[in-house]
Amino acid sequence: MPKKICLLTTGGTITMIHDTQQGGLRPPDTPLDLYKTLPELTQLETLLPEQPQLAHTEFLMNIDSSNMNPAHWQQIAQAIFARRDEYDAFVVTHGTDTMAYTGSALAFMLHTLNKPIILTGAQVPLTGGLVMDARNNLINAFRIAALAVERQLHDVLIVFGSKVLRATRAIKHSVFDFDAFTSFNAPEVARIGLRYQFQHEATAPRMKPPCQLQDNLDGRVALLKVTPGLSPQVVEAIAHTDLQGLVIEGFGAGNLPYLGAYSLLPSIEGMIARGIAVVITTQAQIGAAEMFYVTGAEFIRVGAISGADMTSSSAVVKLMWVLGNFGHALDRVKTHMHTNYAEEIDVRLLG
Ligand code: ASP
């Protein structure tokens, strides 16, 4: 049986053109005609064994994803929610730069959606000549969408290069490789090669409550990467904006300086006392903010929230979503930050 798929386009390299005058890639003035560029799109269900059927295309926006903000995430989520009964799955084309943020936002706002959402993009545009990953990624996105429908894999997934990964675990780790994304602290959902190899764990269907759209976001959240010798004045300056939440990427297992002139403890404690939620993640490539050193534990003692094994991008988006939907009371923020909504966190790490 063909699976009805809705394609939403948002821009990104995949549909960009090369502007020789401006000397760079940019979205075309009018969105690229995908059906002209890739006529096979109209016959996918007869050409592919998984039978994805491109049932509808909607050009939502046409931007470099560096220009995305939470209002764009809401627009995409609302478009999907409004069409949820008409299609079996959604494919969203998107720039790679902020794809992990958008994917996380969709995963939280639509965490009760019983349909797969597949994000894809490319390192080289569809119109980029003979060297291209765009065509592969787009076709794979449709095939994986159809397979995800069959497997009841109701997640927000990124299909890119040889990988299928959860958006909430994705990090853009390469601007060079065709495998632009890596999965942080979680196995990939599937590998793409001659066949699609799904992880056993990833195929288990999960029951979800009736679908609601929880699309409130409080965008007054920032991400700060700590470096040795970072002046506490920087944190003070950030704290005295309208900020409501701060994610700090600490060292190693969630460590931050707490001794001497560079101690961040007084500024962080002051922020928390004023009701700003502070979440600590790790700068490491593998592992979690587990605070098993005093340098991390001191910050938990004054009310910081462990980001555990979340990616910093997922933690930032989740914090916006939690503040937007569940209010600013810090104990409630902590409870929701430590609830697993979209496979973004391993709650066993929280003890
Ligand atoms: N700057 C582009 C974007 O994120 C990069 C890409 O799509 O690969 O829109």
Of 203, 237, 255, which residue sits at a domain end?
203
Residue 260 lies in a domain: yes
Q: Is the CB of 64 under 6 A from ligand 1?
A: yes
Residues 197 and 240 in one domain: no
User: What CATH number is attached to the domain comprising 56?
Assistant: 3.40.50.1170
List the catalytic residues. Answer: 13
Of 169, 203, 237, which residue sits at a domain end?
203
Residues 14 and 140 in one domain: yes
Residues 191 and 283 in one domain: no
Residue 210 lies in a domain: no
Q: The tokens 């821009």 sit on which residue? A: 11
Residue 185 lies in a domain: yes
Residue 9: per-residue pLDDT:
98
* Residue 238 pLDDT exceeds 70: yes
Give the single-character DSSP code of 211.
Answer: P
Residues 195 and 232 in one domain: no
Q: Is the CB of 161 under 6 A from ligand 1?
A: no
Q: Is the CB of 96 under 6 A from ligand 1?
A: yes
Which tens digit of pLDDT belongs to each residue from 119-158?
999 999 998 878 789 999 999 999 999 999 999 999 999 9
Residue 209 lies in a domain: no
Residues 57 and 192 in one domain: yes
What DSSP line would sit under 218-234, residue for residue?
A: ---EEEEE--TT--HHH
Residue 35, H or E segment: helix 34-37
Residue 211 lies in a domain: no
Residues 106 and 228 in one domain: no
Residue 278: per-residue pLDDT:
98
Residues 181 and 229 in one domain: no
- Mean pLDDT, residues 237-253: 96
Residue 292: per-residue pLDDT:
93
Residues 273 and 346 in one domain: yes
* Ligand 1 atom with least separation from CA of 11: 9
Which tens digit of pLDDT belongs to each residue from 39-91?
999 999 999 999 999 999 999 999 999 999 999 999 999 999 999 999 999 99
Domain that holds residue 114: 3-203
Residues 259 and 312 in one domain: yes
Helices (H), 30-88: 34-37, 44-47, 70-82
Residue 143 lies in a domain: yes
Q: In total, how many domains does the chain have?
A: 2
In angstroms, the CA 103 to CA 170 distance is 9
Residues 195 and 225 in one domain: no
* Residue 143 CA, ligand 1 centroid: distance in Å: 23
Residues 184 and 328 in one domain: no
Residues 89 and 166 in one domain: yes
* Residue 200 pLDDT exceeds 80: no
Please name the amino acid found at residue 179: D
Of 151, 171, 203, which residue sits at a domain end?
203
In angstroms, the CA 16 to CA 82 distance is 27
* Ligand 1 atom with least separation from CA of 63: 9
**Mean pLDDT value across the chain:** 95
- Mean pLDDT, residues 335-349: 96
User: What CATH number is attached to the domain comprising 302?
Assistant: 3.40.50.40
What pTM was computed for the model? 0.97
